[in-house]
Amino acid sequence: MRAKHFFTSENITLFKQQLLIWSQQFDDVVWLDSNNHKQAHSHYDAVLAVDAFTSIKTDYFDAFNQLKEYQATTKDWLFGYLTYDLKNNIEPLKSENFDGLEFPDLYFFQPKKIFFFKGKEVALCYLNMVDYEFESDLHTIKNVSQENNTSEANSVKIKLRIHKDAYIEKIQAMLHHIHRGDMYEANFCQEFYAEATEINPLETYSKLNAISNAPFATFLKSGDKFLLSASPERYLKKDGGLVISQPIKGTAKRSLDKDEDQALKAELRSNVKERSENIMIVDLVRNDLSKTAIKGSVKVDELCGIYTFDQVHQMISTVRSQVEPTVNPIDIIKTTFPMGSMTGAPKISAMKIIEALEETKRGLYSGTVGYFSPEGNFDFNVVIRSILYNQSKKYVSYSVGSAITAKSDPLKEYEECLVKAKAMRDVLEG
């Protein structure tokens, strides 16, 4: 079904840049880049999938069953996304907040052309029907000029969907729910946006990626809709019988002063509130994974590990399980979705309260982008630290959130959101 060719590049950074420019001719593009972070569970340094042969695009109703049927029928590589609002397919929930972006709830495509990066080697996997194009494509890519692919700095005027005083009131309302026992943790998110705005999606992604250098970076194009993501977080990966989830909970800012930066890192490691946030979500993830796991196979490989990225320090845990070969890969996703790090606990109660207090439909923010292999393996990120763009509507958006627990200080939660938003704001405002 697919022909495979191998290409070695001595300047892989340049080839990546040329490949991304070349990819812009297609309506369907997914670029996943580890930025050379040596993730313990990653197979590839980067992947590009372009040009849909078949695709599925749907709202939340019966979405997981439709995806299951599509995945079983194609038995091929599939790339795409699931939005946060697929929660409404899993539980009796709703998403009625304002939506300026209007992304479909679920979208996957079977690409004609895929490029897998590992070190200096690139594997080109083309559907047989287009395999004759691979040599001419390679020639074109290697001769792409970058001269006319730089643009002026963005000067986007960012607006707040929730202003500071209203944010603090909403956090106090969440704390009331927590103290009353309705939930014990929830991720509350706020949107920053701009209307009547045009950006160059690839150029904006490149600037965001240069600032953040994140391990689950993503450029996604679906017609007139774009995701430009500097995500540090893996949602879920399946490799044979092994399933891995790596929730992030706990954030500290960086400092240019080396000693202060180490002190900030040490403070995060010992922070009782941040650790309790992380441990609560680890418990939720363990419970979610147990729904499809072989009994007794759910383990915590690492609890509250501290990892440093260009913009922030993060607290990350790793949870794994084993599944039988008969378990459908879509069921593993459905029983863990949306990811606990973006909802809270108990999950359903938290999602209901989130919906009542937030002002914006989350859509692809808090969702996930990734791929399925022909064997039913998969790897998906968490869509955070991301700019979303509807080119036709000229609407640009990014959202940030933080975990609210009984120990939360509303002002400190607001400040944490601004730390997380800094890279996106810098890129957009120029």
* Domain CATH for 84: 3.60.120.10
Amino acid at 346: P
Question: Is 233 annotated in the active site?
Answer: yes
The yes-or-no verdict on residue 303 having pLDDT over 80 is: yes
From the list 16, 113, 207, 233, the catalytic residue is: 233
- Please name the residues in contact with 19: beta carbons below 8 A apart, sequence gap of 6 or more: 48, 115, 141
For 280, the token pair is: 């609560």
Sort 385 into a burial class: Cβ within 10 Å, 0-12 / 13-18 / 19+: buried
What CA–CA distance (Å, rounded) separates 28 from 107?
A: 10
Domain of 249 in residue numbering reads as 2-429
What pLDDT sits at residue 187?
95
Tell me the pTM: 0.95
130-148: pLDDT as tens digits: 999 999 999 999 999 875 5
pLDDT value at residue 206: 97
pLDDT in tens, 380-419: 999 999 999 999 999 999 999 999 999 999 999 999 999 8
Q: What pLDDT score was predicted for residue 154? A: 77
Q: Computed from CA positions of residues 413, 250, 332, 380, in that sequence, does the dihedral angle turn out positive or negative?
A: positive
Rg, the chain, Cα only: 21
Of 16, 225, 249, 352, the active-site residue reads 249
Taking the CA atoms of 246, 250, 256 and 259 in sequence, report the sign of the dihedral they define: negative
Distance in angstroms (rounded) separating the CA atoms of residues 396 and 161: 12
Average pLDDT over every residue of 64-86:
98
Q: Total structural domains in the chain?
A: 1
Residue 279 has pLDDT above 80, yes or no: yes
- Position 301 scores a pLDDT of 96
